[in-house]
Amino acid sequence: MSAVATKPTHSHYESNEADNFLISSKGFLSWALTLDHKRIGLMYLIGVMSAFFLAGTLALVLRTELLMPQGWFLTTQQYNQVFTLHGAIMVFLFIIPSVPAALGNFLVPVMLGAKDVAFPRLNLGSFYLWVAGAIFFLSAMLYTGLDTGWTFYTPYSTQTRGPVVAATMGVFILGFSSIFTGLNFIVTINTMRPPGMTWFKMPLFLWATYATSIIQVLATPVLGITVLLLAAERVFHIGIFDPQFNGDPVVFQHFFWFYSHPAVYIMILPGMGIISELMSVHCHKSIFGYRFIAYSSIAIALFGFLVWGHHMFTSGMADVTTIVFSALTFTVSIPSAIKVFNWLATMYKGTVQLNTPMCYALSFIFLFTIGGLTGLWLGALSTDRHLHDTYFVVAHFHYVMVGGTLVGFLGGVFHWWPKMTGKMFNDFWGIVSCWFVFVGFNLTFLPQFVMGSRGMPRRYARYLPEFQEMHQMSTVGAYLLGLGLFVALGVLMHSLRRGKKAPPNPWGGATLEWQCESPPPYYNFQTPPTVNEPYDYQPLVYRDSDRGWDYVQPTSAPKPVAH
Amino acid sequence: MSLYGFPLLLAERTSERAPGSSFWFPPQASTFAKDVDSLYMYIGYISAFFFVVVVAAMVWFSIKYRRRPGYEGDSTALHNNALEIFWTVVPTIIVVWIFAEGVKGYMDMMTPPAQTIDVNVTARKWGWTFQYPNGAISDKLHVPINKASKMRLRSEDALHAFYVPAFRCKTDVVPGRVTYAWFQPIMEGTFDLFCAEYCGDEHSNMITTVTVHSEESYQNWLKEAAKPPENIVAHGQWLYERQGCKGCHSMEPGKKIVGPSFAESFGTDQKIVGGTVNVDAGYIRESILEPQKKIREGFQGASQMPSYQGKLKDDEILALTAFIEALKDGKLTDDELGKNDEKPAAGK
Amino acid sequence: MTSHAHDSHDAGHGHGDHAHMPFQAHHFDDPEQQFDAGKLGIWLFLVTEVLFFSGMFCAYALYRSLHPEVFTFASQYLNETLGATNTGVLLFSSLSMAWGVRCAQLRQRTGLVICLAITLGCAAVFLGVKAIEYTHKWDMGLLPAGTYVSQFLQTSHHEGLSSWLYVLSAVPAVCVVGFGIWYVMSVVSGDKARAEIAGPFLVTALCYFLGVYIGIVFQNAEAAEHAKHETAAHASETHDEHGHADASHAEPEATAAAKLVSHVEPNSPPGSPTLAAVDQAGGAGVFFSIYYCMTGVHAIHILGGIAVLAWLLVRATKDHFNAEYFGPVDYVGLYWHLVDLIWIYLFPLLYLIK
């Protein structure tokens, strides 16, 4: 084991406070210029949460405005700007980087038993690209108000007065941040797995991250060139997307969705990875059908590239193309279904601990199942023609992205919070926050399915009075959801000041990150971790609530493989 | 400002839903509505079944295997290939069926019968114009019952989408392309027609109606609609409502929808970019034909008005000018409209 | 976004910690792992590059299949001789780059410096030729669709060098002066290490002007060729319909121009659009849009390549590379070959449509 040769000389496995990555060095620059993946992960966490807070507030503004069919305090123009900001910030600044960049950065090397990602400088660079993109993007949008929707559909985006060029440059920069993060993870997982960790001994979160990274690397460049061409279209009128100069707006839609549909899987796959970890650990049960879950992640990543056309069923594509895209769309539903069934089977005969992360994991399954199943209506061509661009679609993708990714992200944050900060949170209030989020979310978006099938189009600042009751229900739900999120934030913040010190392994996880201290020292592992089955709970012994679980070395440790 | 621009059409609405609506759907007013709805409900039943299975298992396992004193769960690996294959194959068969049903319904929607009533539909920010074979133009769609109507969809600016929920019919209107939609109404009445593809400021007010007539009343309507009013001011207003002026220029003094209000403007001096201009017949004519030439101060940022060169005849421009002139005191009187003239025919 | 270029590049090669000698980053187990990580990293980066360009190749394929006649017509305005020259230059630079990698592996310090300098010089020649091509087209109004000037309306005639050329050449000119002063000063002060860096940089900057010179020569040759054709053509038929008084710049062949008439967009208003109107409506403009997008993005990659090659050259003079540690040279080499390869596709697709 070559890692032994370079390990630091601490021979005692003693918790050494000074090694803790949070305080091992001090000062602003020690954070701003850090190459430590854990610090970068935490900075991302703060960044994406701020973006989420901003975009979430905008969502409440929208919902409040929609209390009245004829509007209340926003002009239609302002409404359009607010929904554009809400969507664009949520997608580009929150959902896409949330799990991979924030949690992934923290967890990928630790789960691998590595000291850092393969390219720490690139990693820091990605973070600053994210910051630069965010500043660019936000200032552009706040300055005069972008109103194209987050999709930037041409030719509206080439006609409108908003700062489209600045916003697209922001997206371009954010895209490169995402590409470099993905590239880093692929290389890290490929080349830095410790001896003994074969592909099928990797935690499922790493499988999910790997699949996500593949999409990031393969799809995001196409978004890059698309927004570049859009900017060129606006400035030089290159006539590729703008019908005024012989271009075709449908070409833009193809280009855009070629990235943005796989991007949906960038958003949901890491969430699924988190749930795989959470279900196993908190059921204290080896994951059911490991290989099926792992393969299904890769299958989703690959199929995800072939289905972009289902965003364009009404845009006048050829019939054959439309039908082929519909068929391919249904193929994606199968691996998702496989995952859900395997998670459920994992619970069978396990020991289910209904704590905060598990409650979030269960609400993920509930909400994601709705999100996934409602996709069937939209994949079927005849029903889609009715439901396309209505509130049904809005509800569907919120069930997947909020009910799926956000809830999974929150579950992950609670699950790894003790590892990241070394503090335990208040479980009772954590569960309360989960209930608020769950009830509030369903109240917000269930009525929108009904509105959609009744024919309420999306992106409407004003609507027919017959939809008012449903909209009001939805608004009440949104406030409840917001309240739940505030409770969750409060629980986390409270833990920082008052939380009990977390043991290395509070939940009884068998993956490598639970073998190092909480929070981990700068080099992650004082002794190189023993690579074991990631979901084998036999060697884990519960001590008490202060010391958590201990890993008792099995008598025959797996043989290190020569490097 | 958009509050003021809120069309009367909407303000007249009550929260009552159209007759024939069910909990889930608007009325089934076209031939393929029933098929769409039944596929919708079938997918609903299938989804409900799977959803109940998933949630029941989740809740049951959470209770039965919860951590509690005296209960020791099994932590070892479980694996069952038969089960995996089962829950891969069963959903696959089901989605194949859903796919096939969807394609069937889709092909119906894409294949209009040989005999159709062809309507040219022009979408612009933010209104619709429907042009009938006999030359009638209207901003509301009128179709006869039990006959297939085919829409030939064109856009003058951004993307729009032609959406009639009661017909379960939606097609994008793509600038630079011509797209088609067809339907055969089976129920008389008036239904909503939405723009379903985001198109900017007044997207949510780009709403009109489709009225399904009996054959006879449709023919009457068609005859009436092709006939402009005799009175020149009424003719101007008739054009104002049909040619898309209404979407951006209000008839009330000082109200800015997108462009300047028509009221109290005739004969006044207005600041334009780089000078002033007197709003007279000449300026109005020029603004209709070359809208970007002299832009009023305060409207530089507004969305650009398309040119009406070639779309309006000289007498029509004169009629519009007369209409704007009649509005110079801020309102239209019956006198100006010609008391005994018939009202614009296209209305309900 | 200079920090972007720097970070991505630097870290893309898996190290950059120049301060200590074996250049092994702390988190890698051994140099071999570091090299493998870097290699996989750069390959993935190249994949993203290919996908980045693929968007434009798709646009190209789409519009060419929709309007083949426009592409044939517009392609005539590209100067094949200049394109071919640039292809040769880039191929040669790929050779010198590959040789450089070999030198690094064998720890031939001087050989590596020379190879890198040749590669840099070729890159600069390429840009010089490109500058001539671009500015000539800008003057002729061969611009993206929105600003494209129909070649059937052209009445003004451009003689001599474009004023745009002076704008584009400002930076290289400053570089020549700066590096020249730097080089002379380091030679005078006897600082051999400095002179070794400044010399190649000076040569690179000068090579840009060599490229400009080559461009002018071939451009003039082409113009003279056309002038001959034109005079012959004018002798037999009259062109006054298009008001073409001058004969010195490339006038489209009558047949190709006539083909444009058949190109009428399905949506255009009824009536008979004239040949000029179709061309004016951006018929050929889309070709030039795609041309500028593709070659422009490619040229930006050449500029990026110049930056990293310069960085390598500085390190090479300090003798950083050897058989154990030559990763950066290898990675930059791969990148450079890709940039070359993309041009190999661009050249026939844009210049050689017949």
Tokens representing residue A284 in the block = 């204290």
Q: What is the pLDDT of residue C39?
A: 92
Q: A6, A124, A180, A238: best mutation site toward chain C, by most C Cβ within 10 Å?
A: A238
Closest CA to C63 of C351, C354, C350: C350
Contact A125, A180 (CB under 8 A): yes
Q: Which amino acid is at A425?
A: F
Q: Which pairs count as long-range contacts for B268-277, CB under 8 Å and 24+ apart, including other chains?
A: B268/B328, B270/B296, B270/B297, B271/B296, B271/B297, B272/B296, B272/B297, B273/B297, B273/B300
C-alpha–C-alpha distance, residues A436 and A434, integer Å: 5
Which chains would you list as touching B if contact means 3+ CB atom pairs under 8 Å? A, C
Nearest C-alpha in A relative to B165 = A455
Residue percentage of chain B with pLDDT more than 70: 92
The beta-strand segments (E) located in chain B are 117-124, 127-131, 137-138, 141-144, 149-155, 160-164, 169-173, 179-183, 189-195, 208-213, 269-272, 275-278
Tokens representing residue C227 in the block = 């002038």
**Cα–chain-centroid distance for residue A104?**
10
Q: How many CB pairs under 8 A join B and C?
A: 6
Lowest mean pLDDT among A122-126, A291-295, A547-551: A547-551
Q: Find residues 88-147 of chain A whose CB sits inside 8 Å of chain C.
A: 114-125, 128-129, 132
- The more confident residue out of A353 and C247 is A353
Helix, strand and coil in chain A, % to nearest 5:
70, 0, 30
For strand B275-278 and strand B269-272, is the pairing parallel, antiparallel, or unpaired?
Answer: antiparallel
Tokens representing residue A313 in the block = 């069923």
- Over the stretch B170-218, which tens digit does the pLDDT of each residue have? 999 999 889 999 999 999 999 999 999 999 888 998 999 999 999 999 9
Residue percentage of chain A with pLDDT more than 70: 95
Alpha helices in B26-68 (DSSP H): 33-64
Q: What is the pLDDT of residue B253?
A: 82
C-alpha–C-alpha distance, residues B249 and B291, integer Å: 13
Nearest C-alpha in A relative to C283 = A246
C-alpha–C-alpha distance, residues C114 and C99, integer Å: 10
Coil, strand or helix: which one is A241?
A: coil
CA distances from C232 to C79, C92, C148, C257 (A): 21, 39, 28, 18
- Decide if A221 touches C, using CB distance below 8 A: yes
- The more confident residue out of B244 and A351 is A351
Which chains would you list as touching A if contact means 3+ CB atom pairs under 8 Å? B, C
CB < 8 Å to C12, chain A: 119, 122
C-alpha–C-alpha distance, residues B137 and B150, integer Å: 16
Ramachandran region, residue A535 (left: φ > 0; alpha: ψ -120 to 50; beta: rest): alpha
Longest Cα–Cα distance in chain C: 78
C-alpha–C-alpha distance, residues B106 and B141, integer Å: 23
From the CA of C69, how many Å to the nearest CA of chain A? 15
Q: At what angle do helices A427-454 and A356-379 cross, to 10 degrees?
A: 10
C-alpha–C-alpha distance, residues C99 and C110, integer Å: 12
Closest CA to A414 of A345, A354, A371: A354
Residue percentage of chain A with pLDDT more than 90: 66
- Decide if B93 touches A, using CB distance below 8 A: no
From the CA of C279, how many Å to the nearest CA of chain A? 11
Mean pLDDT, all residues of chain A: 89
With vertex at residue C267, the alpha carbon angle to CA C261 and CA C269, rounded to the nearest 5 degrees, is: 75
Closest CA to A492 of A19, A49, A36: A49
Q: Inspect the interface and report whether the beta carbons of B178 and C266 lie closer than 8 Å.
A: yes
Nearest C-alpha in A relative to B14 = A465
Mean pLDDT by 10 residues, chain C (354 residues): 37 40 72 88 94 90 83 83 92 94 91 94 94 86 75 60 83 91 90 88 92 88 74 52 40 40 39 48 77 93 94 90 88 95 92 82
C-alpha–C-alpha distance, residues A240 and A232, integer Å: 9
Give whichever of A248-257, A439-448, C270-279 has the largest mean pLDDT.
A439-448
Tokens representing residue C177 in the block = 């002066």
Surface-to-core class of residue B292, CB atoms within 10 Å of its CB (0-12 exposed, 13-18 middle, 19+ buried): exposed
From the CA of B315, how many Å to the nearest CA of chain A? 29
**Cα–chain-centroid distance for residue B329?**
33
- Over the stretch A80-104, which tens digit does the pLDDT of each residue have? 999 999 999 999 999 999 999 999 9
For strand B189-195 and strand B208-213, is the pairing parallel, antiparallel, or unpaired?
Answer: antiparallel
Which chains would you list as touching C if contact means 3+ CB atom pairs under 8 Å? A, B
CB < 8 Å to C269, chain B: 310
Phi then psi for residue A555, to 5 deg, are -60, -40
C-alpha–C-alpha distance, residues B198 and A147, integer Å: 10
Nearest C-alpha in A relative to C17 = A121
Q: How many CA atoms lie within 13 A of A337 on its CB side?
A: 26
Element (H, E) at A551: strand A549-551
C-alpha–C-alpha distance, residues C198 and C206, integer Å: 12
Element (H, E) at A332: helix A319-347
Nearest C-alpha in B relative to A454 = B25
Q: Mean pLDDT throughout A419-435?
A: 94
Tokens representing residue B230 in the block = 């005799």
Coil, strand or helix: which one is B157?
A: coil
Torsion, Cα of A401, A405, A410, A413 (10° steps) = -150
User: Looking up tokens 């364009």, which residue turns up?
Assistant: A312
- Over the stretch B142-181, which tens digit does the pLDDT of each residue have? 999 999 999 999 998 889 999 999 999 999 999 988 999 9
Lowest mean pLDDT among A63-72, A115-124, A251-260, C69-78: C69-78
Q: Please determine, for residue B47, whether its predicted confidence score (pLDDT) is greater than 80.
A: yes
Q: Inspect the interface and report whether the beta carbons of C59 and A240 lie closer than 8 Å.
A: yes
Q: How many CA atoms lie within 13 A of A411 on its CB side?
A: 32
Ramachandran region, residue B189 (left: φ > 0; alpha: ψ -120 to 50; beta: rest): left
CB < 8 Å to C267, chain B: 154, 176-178
Contact B180, B113 (CB under 8 A): no
Q: Mean pLDDT throughout B270-289?
A: 86
Surface-to-core class of residue C61, CB atoms within 10 Å of its CB (0-12 exposed, 13-18 middle, 19+ buried): exposed
Torsion, Cα of C334, C339, C344, C346 (10° steps) = 150
Phi then psi for residue A413, to 5 deg, are -60, -45
Contact B247, B126 (CB under 8 A): yes
pLDDT confidence bin for A122, thresholds 50/70/90: very high
pLDDT confidence bin for B326, thresholds 50/70/90: confident
**Cα–chain-centroid distance for residue A466?**
36
Q: What is the pLDDT of residue C158?
A: 60
- Decide if B90 touches A, using CB distance below 8 A: no
Q: Please determine, for residue B301, whether its predicted confidence score (pLDDT) is greater than 60.
A: yes
Contact C107, C326 (CB under 8 A): no
Q: What is the pLDDT of residue A12?
A: 38
Q: Inspect the interface and report whether the beta carbons of B177 and C269 lie closer than 8 Å.
A: no
The answer for residues whose C-beta is within 8 angstroms of residue A380's C-beta and 6 or more apart is A326, B39, B43, B98, B99, B101, B102, B105
Nearest C-alpha in C relative to B175 = C267
- The more confident residue out of B64 and A5 is B64
- Over the stretch A472-518, which tens digit does the pLDDT of each residue have? 999 999 999 999 999 999 999 999 999 999 998 999 898 999 988 88
The beta-strand segments (E) located in A31-73 are none
Torsion, Cα of A503, A509, A514, A515 (10° steps) = 100
With vertex at residue B68, the alpha carbon angle to CA B65 and CA B69, rounded to the nearest 5 degrees, is: 135
